[in-house]
Structure 1
Amino acid sequence: MDQILNSIVVQVHDEIYLKNPLSSELGKKIINQSLELIAELGMEGFTFRKLAEKIGSTEGAIYRYFENKHKLLLYLTAWYWGWMEHHLVFAISNLNDPFEKMKVAIRLLVEGPENKENQYLDPVILTQVVTEESYKSFLTKEVDTENKNGYFKFFHRISKRLADIVIEINPTYPYPKTLVSTLMESTLLQAFFLKHMPAMTELSVKGNEKIDFYYELVFKTLKDEN
């Protein structure tokens, strides 16, 4: 199983890139080294010039793969949600109880998969980048067009899977999509607060407080609607 998960390839929408970065060693170097640079500098400080210097190539070579750094961020965030969806499907495939499915899903969103290896992208650094930078991928003037073009399909797909679990738990609950999007957004935002603005949360990095909070948020909400 670990071998299968380690070799997951996320089929990112082909309009996000100009040339598939997984099709060459240079492309693979671009996405891997960009992760490290974005984690270090943030999207504001990250440039293709700096990336070119890091990988020993040229800006022109990078532009043959991605139109701009926004498209590169879209690629990385799409990969993250596709990777998470794969892990969710594997983790709940043998479960019948929707409560257990949701517990697994919450733990996945909060802590990430137990298997944190992938032969194409470093999931640990990818998670850091998504936590700190992913909002910049869709809080733009182009979001309507990009959404219509399917750039966020993996985000929508994992959300749909989670909403289906909510409906399994409580078929009469009227806001499954809203609850799920709140859950997904909050797990990223609280992870950001824990690292950078700890005064904004009572949660702790240690112990099960993060998990317990989301169990309470989700299960009490669904129970109160019965």
Structure 2
Amino acid sequence: MDKILNSIVVQVNGEVYIKDPLSSELGKRIISESLLLISELGMEGFTFRKLSEKVGSTEGAIYRYFENKHKLLVYLTAWYWGWLEHHLVFSISNLTDPKEKMKIAIRLLVEGPVNKQNQYLDPVVLTQIVTDESYKTFLTKEVDAENKNGFFKHFHGLNSRIVAIVKEINPSYKYPKTLVSTLMESTLLHAFFRKHMPSMTEIGLKGDQKVDFYYELVFKTLKDEN
């Protein structure tokens, strides 16, 4: 599985970019250097001018790949959710017990991708960016149009796969989509809290303790509906 995930390419919606960044060496440098710069500066401090200096090209050349830095962030976060979906599919492919599938899904949401290597993007840095910046992709005035155009397809795709697991565990549960979207939002938000606002969560949790809360949240909720 590791070998496959190392070389996998997530197919991001073509509406997000002007030119596929993985189609050229410059585009690949734009992606890899943007990860590092956004991680260092945040989206507020990140600019295409600063990125152009890092990649050794002109600012205009970067605009030939992405219309603006918002769409670059959408590209990066879409890659993350798509890659997480690939992890889930590979990890549960030989499992029959839906509860075991759900445990894997929860651990992926809490801890991020198991595989920490990819030849196109650094998964560790990408996870940090998703934790710190991903809300900025959809808390905008353009979210309805962007959602309609498929900008968040991979986010929806991962959601749908976990919803299917919920239905396996308890087919009669009335709110599988709401439960899963709450789970996804909660794991993301609490990762942010642990890093930046530690008094909002139990920062000292380690190992399995990090996922125990979510196991209880999901399995007790589904059990109560039986």
Q: What interval of TM-score do these two structures reach, taking the shorter chain for normalisation?
A: over 0.9
What secondary structure does 1:140 align onto?
coil
Deviation at 1:203, TM superposition (A): 4.3
The AA in structure 2 aligned to 1:40 is E
RMSD of Structure 2 on Structure 1 (CA) = 0.8
Deviations 1:45-70 (A, max 9, x none): 10000101111111000000000000
| Length-normalised TM-score, structure 2 | 0.98
Aligned residue pairs, count? 226
**Could you tell me how far apart the structure 1 residues matched to 2:204 and 2:81 are?**
25
Deviation at 1:207, TM superposition (A): 2.9
Task: Please name the residue that 1:188 is paired with.
Answer: 188
**Could you tell me how far apart the structure 2 residues matched to 1:82 and 1:204 are?**
30
Contact kept, 8 Å, 1:203 with 1:209, in 2: the verdict is no
The AA in structure 2 aligned to 1:122 is D
The AA in structure 2 aligned to 1:220 is K
Deviations 1:76-103 (A, max 9, x none): 0110011000000000000001000000
- Which runs of 4 or more aligned residues in structure 1 lie more than 3 Å from their structure 2 counterparts after TM superposition? none
Task: Please name the residue that 1:200 is paired with.
Answer: 200
Task: Please name the residue that 2:108 is paired with.
Answer: 108
**2:43 is equivalent to residue 74 of structure 1:** no
Deviation at 1:205, TM superposition (A): 4.7
Contact kept, 8 Å, 2:102 with 2:165, in 1: the verdict is yes
Unpaired runs of 5+ in structure 2? none
5 Å-filtered alignment, 1:55-74, equals 55-74=55-74
Task: Please name the residue that 2:223 is paired with.
Answer: 223
What secondary structure does 2:161 align onto?
helix
Deviation at 1:133, TM superposition (A): 0.2
Deviations 1:151-190 (A, max 9, x none): 1100001100000100110111111001100111111111
Contact kept, 8 Å, 2:87 with 2:114, in 1: the verdict is no
Task: Please name the residue that 1:122 is paired with.
Answer: 122
**Could you tell me how far apart the structure 1 residues matched to 2:113 and 2:155 are?**
17
What secondary structure does 2:107 align onto?
helix
**Could you tell me how far apart the structure 1 residues matched to 2:170 and 2:88 are?**
20
**Could you tell me how far apart the structure 1 residues matched to 2:158 and 2:209 are?**
24
Task: Please name the residue that 1:17 is paired with.
Answer: 17
The AA in structure 2 aligned to 1:158 is L
5 Å-filtered alignment, 1:89-104, equals 89-104=89-104
Task: Please name the residue that 1:177 is paired with.
Answer: 177
**Could you tell me how far apart the structure 2 residues matched to 1:89 and 1:97 are?**
14
Task: Please name the residue that 1:39 is paired with.
Answer: 39
Task: Please name the residue that 1:2 is paired with.
Answer: 2
**Could you tell me how far apart the structure 1 residues matched to 2:121 and 2:114 are?**
16
The AA in structure 1 aligned to 2:156 is H
**Could you tell me how far apart the structure 1 residues matched to 2:37 and 2:225 are?**
46
Deviations 1:84-143 (A, max 9, x none): 000000000000010000001111111123211100000000000001000000000000
Percent of aligned pairs sharing the same letter: 79
Contact kept, 8 Å, 2:18 with 2:67, in 1: the verdict is yes
